[in-house]
Amino acid sequence: MSSTGFVPPPYPYDRLDEIVAIAKQHEGGAVDLSIGTPCDPPPPEVLAALTAGDTARGYPASIGSLAFRQAAAGWIERRLGATVDPVTELAAVVGTKEFVASTPQYLKLRDPSKDTVLYPAISYPTYEMGATLAGCRAVPYETLDEISGDDASRALCVWVNSPGNPTGELHDLAAAAAWGRARGIPVLSDECYAEFTWSGGPTTILREGSQGVLAVHSLSKRDNFAGARIGFFAGDAELVHYLREVRKHAGLMPPGPVQAAAIVALGDDAHVDVQRERYLRRLVRLREILVSLGYPCELPAGAFYLWVPVAGGDAWAAARDLAERIGIVVSPGDFYGARSAGYLRVAAVQPDDRIELAASRITA
């Protein structure tokens, strides 16, 4: 039976099967640097907290326990230099990807007169998909100043991402907050890589105050806790209240044991400092490897990806070349928007010994 309705496109990383198969032919198998999934262990205290107490028995609070929200607010103040009220300006999410994908549909219900989601032209693909799933127009932009008056007047929200995935660029969050406030457009600031800022220190849009903005944060990258699916959003009290209430009805509840473990993770900065050193060391080493293979690139200002321009612009051919020569799997740039088709994204998410395995194949 045929359908003229929505047909989900192939999931980006499912398109890598051919390249994975090529890389697997090397002794020792493929070294997967495509998906930004952590490979290092969470702190043992965090894992222990998953089984401590009795947080699994009852239904967890959809908005997050008060203790979780206080821990998140304390982290924002301690590490990012901003203040939010954990009672009225912060709520938990079941991993930030679901928040990115689902929020446009909730904003559309709130204001049916608007139909547009603005998002960076080179970016995490879920910004665009969230708009599509909401039945909205997904409109990419290179700079906020290039957004037309018509698109701005129709906008439910504008996404910003700093440090950015996949480029690692840092953006002017103060300017983004001012742009959104001047037009009455909520600014949703994805700050999941804030702790991994190499050029300057971590920051947040919340330094500009909470009016009209939401900051979105995840424990996936900071704490190597991606499998636990926990994060939070914080900012404008009215918007936080609306999203908290609608998300309750949707049954979006981070598991109680995960919230308990997240409290421990958010209270400990030492393991994050260790992780920062790991990622920076791996980025430097991966850049050396790529340069030696004829793929010059620069270290990013933030996040844990190398954004590699491809001579001639054929990123898929370059990805196959790297799989054939040293058995690594990387992401072609078109995963992150049509304007990035001539690039590769290389994630520093394999242990040092796996990266050295790939390096050893250069001379083999």
pLDDT tens digits along 115-171: 999 999 999 999 999 999 999 999 999 999 999 999 999 999 999 999 999 999 999
What's the rounded Cα separation, in Å, for the pair 155 and 115? 6
Average pLDDT for 267-291: 98
Contact 348, 33 (CB under 8 A): yes
* Residue 1 in this model has a pLDDT that exceeds 60: no
- Is residue 346 predicted with pLDDT exceeding 60? yes
The mean pLDDT of 304-329, rounded to a whole number, is 98
Instruction: Identify the pLDDT of residue 4.
Output: 78
Supply the pLDDT for residue 54. Answer: 87
What local confidence, expressed as pLDDT, does residue 3 receive? 63
C-beta separation of 90 from 216 below 8 A:
no
pLDDT of residue 217: 98
pLDDT band at 27 (very low <50, low <70, confident <90, very high): very high
171 contact partners, CB below 8 Å, separation of at least 6: 160, 161, 162, 164
238-272 burial, b for 16+ CB within 10 Å, e for fewer? Answer: ebbeebbebbeeeebbbbbbbbbbbbbbbeeeebb
- Res 2: pLDDT: 54
Q: What is the pLDDT, as a whole number, of residue 25?
A: 98
Which pTM does this prediction carry?
0.96
Q: Are strands 187-190 and 305-309 parallel, antiparallel or unpaired?
A: unpaired
Give the model confidence (pLDDT) of 76-87 as tens digits: 999 999 999 999
Residues 192-216 have pLDDT tens digits of 999 999 998 999 999 999 999 999 9
* Whole-number pLDDT of residue 302: 98
In this prediction, residue 145 carries a pLDDT of 96
Average model confidence (pLDDT) for the chain? 97
